[in-house]
Amino acid sequence: MQAVILAAGKSTRTYPLTLTKPKPLLKILNKPLLAHQLEALAGCGVKDAIIIVGYKKEMIIDYFKESYSGIKLTYVEQKEQLGTLHALHQVKHLLKDRFFVMYADDMPHLIDLKEAVKHKYCAALMETKTPERFGIAKINEEGFICDIVEKPKEFIGNLASAWGYVLDTKIFDYPLEKEEGQKEYFIPTAVRKLCKTEKVFPLKLKGYWLPTGYPWDLLNANEVMIKEITESKIEGTVEEGAVIKGIAVIGKGTIVKSGSYIEGPVVIGENCVIGPNGYIRGSTSIGNNCKIGNAVEIKNSIIMDNTHVGHLSYFGDSILGENVNIGAGTITANLKHDNENVKSMYNNVLVDSGRRKLGAIIADNVHTGINTSIYPGRKIFPNKTTMPGEVVKKDVE
């Protein structure tokens, strides 16, 4: 088995996090999304992966180089962003027989990848309560996929297309065509034709499917994946008077200072300083070389590498990028007074995050002034600053 991973997109929906790096390099549990995917593929025997790159491709190539987790990597650039099927056609000369096709921003579970390889052709599917938002597979009387309908207006089923497919080179027998009304070429167009002559198995997922379309989806994925960790691994120093309760993974060179309280599951990288008197609550991931100061509370958040959160600050249900410096006393609000889902601005439209609790989304190289207060769901773009005592009521762009 080979694998093709589609990683060329610009991903404007995950702004401001993807203004400084491609989405496959955004981290969950201190590893890039693409690293999690490659490790899962290695677990089911894949030795050869082709990564289709485009936006900020040099960063992806520099990080993963020629191999990762025992998988040989080949990079092919999609120079024009003309859709997923167009991307797949860029690598047909490198494909030998059967292969996975996967989206770089979807997190698959190993249990489902192992099941997928048993079938000549299959599509990963997940039950959904909102079929009008997805491509929905129609199943025939024999139990195989007979059609895929994009965002159906009438109910035809509830099995949504998930992280990808198992295909073979027969998929290139069909001409590169667009659906009526579409501006790009999409893989389901070819799979729909394949269904007419071949049995395409509907792989109903048993594990998780974690798409990361918006920044807050990283929090959703982090919450699920951190619960897969079953054993603590503490390689750093925990001073007397510090308490660790539950599962904790703490990297080399990290110091947890006296008076700190860690409530797992928590992942903390290497060469960090926590505390004194820090409170790190469940489902939090903290990267390498971070400083979480005196009397700081972090809850259900992702803190990326080289970030400093100054004393007397609070971040809940938030994402902080790399090289962020948080001034002392910075507070995020993560819950609305009306208890409704938090909404966040994208492309001049308020988007429902689906989350009752959502704090701040702070991009790389941001500095906040002391005593900054941030409303729920607000975003601060790369290299921006706030003034001491500033109240962030709208995105800082």
Q: Are strands 273-274 and 261-263 parallel, antiparallel or unpaired?
A: unpaired
List all residues 6 or more positions away from 122 whose beta carbon is below 8 Å from its beta carbon. Answer: 116, 165, 166, 200, 201, 202, 203
Cα 297 to Cα 277: distance, rounded to the nearest angstrom: 9
Is the separation of the CB atoms in 250 and 235 below 8 Å? Answer: yes
Q: Name the amino acid, one letter, at 306.
A: N
Cα 250 to Cα 273: distance, rounded to the nearest angstrom: 11
311 is catalytic: yes
For residue 103, CA distances in Å to 38, 46, 187, 224, 251 come to: 12, 16, 11, 19, 30
Structure-token match 């030998």, residue found = 96
List all residues 6 or more positions away from 199 whose beta carbon is below 8 Å from its beta carbon. Answer: 120, 121, 142, 144
Q: Which of 109, 311, 337, 367 is catalytic?
A: 311
Is the separation of the CB atoms in 367 and 381 below 8 Å? Answer: no
Q: Which residues pair with 274 in a beta bridge?
A: 256, 292
Helix ranges (H only) for the chain are 33-43, 57-64, 84-89, 110-116, 187-194, 215-226
Catalytic residues: 311
